[in-house]
Amino acid sequence: MNFIFWTRKFWSDIGYWLGSSRFLVARVVSLADIESANTIVELGAGYGPVTDYLIRHKSPNTKLIVIENNAKCIIELRRKYGQYCDIHEISAAHIGQILPLGSVDIIISTLPLGSISPEWVDHILRATEVSLRTWGRFIQYQYALQNLRDVRRYFDVTHIAFELRNFWPAFIYQANKK
Ligand SMILES: C[S@@+](CC[C@H](N)C(=O)[O-])C[C@H]1O[C@@H](n2cnc3c(N)ncnc32)[C@H](O)[C@@H]1O
């Protein structure tokens, strides 16, 4: 019953069946190496599984900035996590409006790049790249490798992990600003 409720809710609100599993979330965050970060940005927070994990595992001094463009998710994110991080209802393509150039240590994206138009993927990756500091880290997951080439245009992809314990299993790109 609970499962059916949540899958229907996810599908109608954000076009996905389920949020990321705790295994995928832990893997994504471990590849980001958050211990010494001053600023972390999360793109596409949904209902917050990654946000929740980051809040529980980041250092108290690390600033977390959360980006989501779905109004329903924003209401829920602000209710649950508003006191622990900065939450912005904007498109990831426009993060340049709120982040100074080269100011971010780590950007973690669970955006569905595969279902975003190539033009917008390009805007998003460019905005991500310019927001990161030199050698800053970018993490992105995907169920297939369809945007790997796009990510490589902007970043040096150092490792591709695969997490089976998720519906669907996912590849995770670990990349650095060139
Ligand atoms: C695959 S869901 C991931 C949700 C959650 N982070 C998780 O891991 O379960 C992708 C999220 O990205 C958001 N999204 C899609 N395009 C976006 C954009 N251009 N800017 C900001 N958020 C976007 C969707 O609303 C959705 O909540």
Tell me: pLDDT of 4 over 90. no
Q: How many CA atoms lie within 13 A of 168 on its CB side?
A: 8
Instruction: Report pLDDT for 107.
Output: 98
Give dist(CA 6, CA 3) in Å, integer: 5
Give dist(CA 87, CA 82) in Å, integer: 7
Share of the chain above pLDDT 90, in %: 88
CA of 37 to the centre of ligand 1 (A): 23
Query: What confidence tens digit (pLDDT) does each residue in 20-65 have?
Result: 999 999 999 999 999 999 999 999 999 999 999 999 999 999 999 9
Segments making up each domain of the chain, as ranges: 21-177
* Ligand 1 pocket member 110 (CB < 6 A): yes
Tell me: pLDDT of 14 over 60. no
Instruction: Report pLDDT for 16.
Output: 58
Global pTM reads 0.93
Nearest ligand 1 atom, CA 45 = 6
Non-local (6+) Cβ contacts of 153 within 8 A are 125
Q: What Å distances lie between residue 63 and 49, 55, 86, 125, 172, CA to CA?
A: 17, 10, 8, 21, 23
Query: What confidence tens digit (pLDDT) does each residue in 152-169 have?
Result: 999 999 999 999 999 889
Nearest ligand 1 atom, CA 28 = 8
Extract the tokens encoding 139: 């993490």
* Phi and psi at residue 116, to the nearest 5°: -105, 145
**pLDDT band of 18, cuts 50, 70, 90:** confident
Sheet holding 132-142, edge to edge: 86-89, 63-68, 39-43, 104-109, 132-142, 170-177, 155-163
Tell me which architecture the domain covering 21-177 has in CATH.
Answer: 3-Layer(aba) Sandwich (3.40)
